[in-house]
């Protein structure tokens, strides 16, 4: 969603930002795990974005810019400050990459609720990168902009997040604990 | 290339982040490697599961409305400032220009109508067997002739030393207003001079020369009288006669 120079000069902020409302809210709710906090976060995001709209760089990615504002707002919130700490824990939780079980059948059986439950249990850094990549279908470049990390880190974090998710799904499957 | 190298690229493959040659090469490998194909399939399914599960939360209608309303209000406030700075002056300018154009257009149409009427009077008079009611080359004869016939008086120029000569004059009417119609001659061309009263007219506003229906026109307002000079002579002659009439004492 790159915004050409001319469009920035003529479009109102609302024209660009309102179509992202559902995506931003979904992402905010996943981050905060709470409807009211999510609403506050989205509201804060729009307020900050509107104030900073004049500083938005034309020709850059508006969606990534909005998501980055939302994420930064989350990081500075009380929930966010707590949530971003345990990144290393997830790394320890992950199954070794050499685990030979692709478990195709298991993933197929994993219903939506168990995936949601697994996502909920993951640390925010893993959860957010999975959401940005798989739900919002952002490119690695966009994700790097939102999270303010290099693309190489995006790839490695995404890889670890997927392994962690797979491990949780294995544990939730019938006999999954034994399987792990 | 060993399978470990390929599997390292599987995430980028399912995310569509590999270049086309790399993607094609990996696809070739997957067609011949059951293990890697199974791994790729699992990752695709996992990605799809996350995509489906991740679209979970929807904002309430109230919250959606409040954000939209808030944004629109702020945009309007922003527009309000913009309105004051740019749009209002632009609109005022537009109104002024449109109004001016309308006024000028209307004024032009009125002038064209008057020119057309005067051209008809000029032609009709010259075609008449008695084009003038007072026949005289002497301005001191012609001017007094109008006394009591029209509700105003005017000065006529001394033509000595010019190419112009006075033929005579008659009373005429334009839009039910009586006025003076004088005929001048220059090099066998007749020129009509019409004089009508114009109440509340400003002094000496000269319009022209203009052309209408193949005739040249020159008109001006002076001392509450509007003068029209109509003829088929050149603009220079029209202008010269006009100046003589304006300078008349």
Alpha-carbon distance of A80 to A97, in angstroms, equals 29
CA distances (Å), origin A24, targets A43, A65, A171, B67? 10, 11, 30, 12
Q: Quick check: A94 pLDDT over 60? A: no
pLDDT value, residue A97: 44
CA distances (Å), origin A159, targets A118, A153, B11, B29? 16, 10, 7, 21
The model's pLDDT over B131-147, given as tens digits with 9 standing for 90+, comes to 888 888 888 888 888 88
Fold of B115-246: Phosphorylase Kinase; domain 1 (3.30.200)
pLDDT value, residue A178: 37
The CATH class of the A5-81 domain is mainly alpha
Alpha-carbon distance of B36 to A68, in angstroms, equals 35
User: A167: which chain B residues are within 8 Å (Cβ-Cβ)?
Assistant: none
Question: How near does any CA of chain A get to the CA of B19, in Å?
Answer: 13
Alpha-carbon distance of A165 to A118, in angstroms, equals 6
Burial (CB count <10 Å: 0-12, 13-18, 19+), residue A140:
buried
pLDDT value, residue A76: 85
Question: How near does any CA of chain B get to the CA of A102, in Å?
Answer: 6
ipTM of the complex: 0.78
The residue ranking higher by pLDDT, A148 or A113, is A148
CB-CB contact of B154 with B180 (8 Å): yes
Nearest to B58 among A14, A22, A131 (CB): A22
Interchain contact, B46 vs A162, CB within 8 Å: yes
Measured between CB atoms, does A40 come within 8 Å of chain B? no
Alpha-carbon distance of A10 to A64, in angstroms, equals 20
Q: Which residue of A has its CA nearest to B48?
A: A134
What's the rounded mean pLDDT across residues B57-77?
82
Interchain contact, A21 vs B56, CB within 8 Å: no
Nearest to B47 among A103, A110, A134 (CB): A134
Interchain contact, B67 vs A43, CB within 8 Å: yes
The structural domains of chain B, with segments of one domain joined by +, span 3-54, 115-246
Residue A12's region, left for phi above 0, alpha for psi from -120 to 50, else beta, is: beta
The model's pLDDT over B156-215, given as tens digits with 9 standing for 90+, comes to 888 888 888 888 999 888 877 889 999 999 888 889 999 998 876 656 556 656 666 677
Binding-site residues on chain B for chain A (CB distance < 8 A): 11-12, 15, 17, 38-39, 41-43, 45-47, 49-60, 63-64, 67-68, 70-72, 74-75, 78-79
Q: Quick check: B148 pLDDT over 90? A: no
Residue A3 is encoded by which pair of tokens? 């915004």
Fold of A88-179: Arc Repressor Mutant, subunit A (1.10.10)
CB-CB contact of A107 with B42 (8 Å): yes
What is the Cα gyration radius of chain A? Answer: 18
Q: Quick check: A173 pLDDT over 90? A: no
What's the rounded mean pLDDT across residues A17-44?
93
Query: What pTM did the predictor assign?
Result: 0.54
């Amino acid at each position: 969603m790159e915004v050409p120079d001319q469009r920035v000069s003529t479009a109102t902020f609302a024209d660009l930002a309102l179509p992202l409302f559902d995506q931003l809210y979904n992402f905010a709710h996943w981050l905060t795990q709470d409807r009211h906090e999510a609403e506050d976060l989205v509201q804060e995001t729009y307020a900050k974005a509107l104030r900073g709209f004049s500083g938005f760089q034309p020709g850059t990615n508006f969606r990534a810019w909005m998501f980055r504002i939302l994420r930064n707002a989350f990081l500075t919130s009380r929930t966010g400050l707590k949530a971003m700490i345990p990144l290393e824990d997830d790394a320890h939780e992950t199954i070794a990459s050499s685990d030979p079980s692709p478990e195709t059948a298991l993933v197929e059986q994993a219903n939506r609720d168990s995936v949601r439950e697994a996502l909920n249990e993951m640390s925010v850094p893993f959860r957010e990168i999975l959401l940005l990549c798989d739900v919002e279908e952002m490119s690695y470049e966009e994700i790097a902009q939102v999270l303010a990390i290099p693309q190489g880190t995006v790839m490695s974090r995404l890889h670890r997040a997927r392994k962690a998710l797979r491990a949780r799904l294995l544990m939730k499957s019938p006999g999954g604990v034994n399987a792990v | 290339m060993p399978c470990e190298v390929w599997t390292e690229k599987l995430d980028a493959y399912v995310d569509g982040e590999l270049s086309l040659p790399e993607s094609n090469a990996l696809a070739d490998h997957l067609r011949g490697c059951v293990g890697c194909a199974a791994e790729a399939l699992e990752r695709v399914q996992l990605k799809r599961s996350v995509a489906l599960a991740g679209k979970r939360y929807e904002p309430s209608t109230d919250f959606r409305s409040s954000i939209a309303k808030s944004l629109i209000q702020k945009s309007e406030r922003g527009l309000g400032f913009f309105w004051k700075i740019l749009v209002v002056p632009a609109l005022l300018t537009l109104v002024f220009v449109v109004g001016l154009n309308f006024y000028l257009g209307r004024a032009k149409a009125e002038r064209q109508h008057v020119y057309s009427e005067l051209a008809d009077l000029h032609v009709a008079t010259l075609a008449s067997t008695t084009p003038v009611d007072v026949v005289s080359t002497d301005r001191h004869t012609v001017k007094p002739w109008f006394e009591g016939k029209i509700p105003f008086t005017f000065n006529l120029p001394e033509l000595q030393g010019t190419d112009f000569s006075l033929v005579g004059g008659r009373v005429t009417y334009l839009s039910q207003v009586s006025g003076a119609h004088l005929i001048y001659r220059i090099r066998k061309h007749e020129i009509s001079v019409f004089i009508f009263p114009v109440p509340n007219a400003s002094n000496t506003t000269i319009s022209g020369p203009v052309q209408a229906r193949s005739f040249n026109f020159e008109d001006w307002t002076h001392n509450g009288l509007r003068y029209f000079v109509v003829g088929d002579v050149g603009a220079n002659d029209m202008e010269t006669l006009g100046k003589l009439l304006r300078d008349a004492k």
